[in-house]
Amino acid sequence: MQLHQNQKPIDLLARMIEKSSKTGDVVLDPFMGVGSTLCAAEKLGRHAIGIEIETRYCEIAKKRLHKDTTGGEERANYLSF
């Protein structure tokens, strides 16, 4: 399901992240949208920082990341302006 007009497939982003970083590295997405890059980074054991100007997309990303977390435990910190 497409949540953003420029949403990328998580599998495609995961391949790029896997080839360009190591487990434990930090991935920065300065145009986060709905958090696909952050979801891919999380799956690969990378830390991720996302920046998004649209509050509605930040909320969607937050829900997606929380949903993907194992055991319902929230492992991400969020900062909104």
Q: What CATH number corresponds to the domain at position 18?
A: 3.40.50.150
Domain that holds residue 39: 10-69
Number of domains in the chain: 1
Per DSSP, which regions of the chain are E strands?
Answer: 26-29, 47-50
Is position 30 within any domain? yes
Please provide the average confidence, as pLDDT, over all residues in the chain: 85
Is position 81 within any domain? no
Is position 31 within any domain? yes
Q: Which residue has the tokens 């986060």?
A: 32
Is position 2 within any domain? no
Which residue in 22, 1, 5 sits closest to 64, CA to CA?
A: 1
pTM for this predicted structure:
0.79
Report the run of H or E that residue 67 belongs to, with start and end. Answer: helix 55-68
> Residue 5 — very low, low, confident or very high, per pLDDT cuts 50/70/90?
confident
Is position 32 within any domain? yes
Is position 41 within any domain? yes
Spatial distance between the Cα atoms of 27 and 37, rounded to a whole number of angstroms: 8
Q: What is the CA radius of gyration of the chain?
A: 12
The pLDDT, as a whole number, for residue 39 is 94
Is position 74 within any domain? no
Spatial distance between the Cα atoms of 36 and 41, rounded to a whole number of angstroms: 9
